[in-house]
């Protein structure tokens, strides 16, 4: 069975775009994962711990035969491979991969909370997600992305950095 999943990716250390592209490539190279859609890249101000460089963020939709827990393990392996360190909560990082939605399921475990618990409050998550899935609704609610987007679209700190090009399923970004 294939599962529809949405992820948020972010980076604010080193070559941010390169880290994000390497993470997307690693996802797509996994035999049980197919990246379907990628949003444009957005430059965003940090949230929480603000004494750090700005982030690049985007959202991806993928199809996978992996369970949510197995997908979490894969995303953490990718983060480790790309030298992610966890010294400061919400601190600087080479790469961050968060599972936002997994089908229409609600999952609550020690390791995993789906839908992602703070996604509706974060413009840097919702604006790229709205770009690739404007008709999406949240599990067990009638909350639509459109409703959330209207509340967040004028929020400061999220700016288009590079638009997704029309080439291929995913690929180069345009200035």
Active site amino acids: 84, 93, 96, 98
- HSE, CB side, 13 Å, CA atoms: give it for residue 149: 15
Closest listed residue to residue 79, CA positions, set 13, 19, 18, 14 = 19
**CA dist., res. 67 & res. 84, Å (int):** 23
The helix/strand count (H/E) of the chain reads as 4, 9
Give kind and range of the element (H or E) at residue 8: strand 3-11
């Amino acid at each position: 069975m294939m599962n529809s999943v949405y992820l948020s990716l972010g980076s604010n250390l080193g070559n941010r775009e390169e880290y994000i592209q390497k993470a997307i490539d690693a996802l797509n190279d996994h035999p049980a994962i197919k990246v379907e859609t990628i949003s444009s890249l957005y430059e965003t101000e940090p949230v929480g711990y603000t004494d750090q460089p700005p982030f690049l963020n985007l959202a991806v939709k993928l199809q996978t035969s992996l369970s949510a827990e197995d997908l979490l393990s894969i995303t953490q392996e990718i983060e480790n491979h790309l030298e992610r360190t966890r010294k400061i909560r919400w601190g600087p990082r080479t790469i961050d991969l968060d599972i936002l939605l997994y089908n229409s399921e609600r999952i609550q475990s020690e390791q995993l909370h789906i839908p992602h618990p703070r996604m509706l409050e974060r413009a840097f998550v919702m604006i790229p997600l709205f770009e690739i899935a404007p008709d999406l609704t949240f599990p067990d609610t009638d909350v639509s992305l459109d409703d959330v987007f209207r509340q967040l679209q004028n929020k400061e700190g999220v700016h288009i950095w590079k638009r997704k090009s029309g080439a291929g399923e995913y690929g180069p970004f345009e200035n």
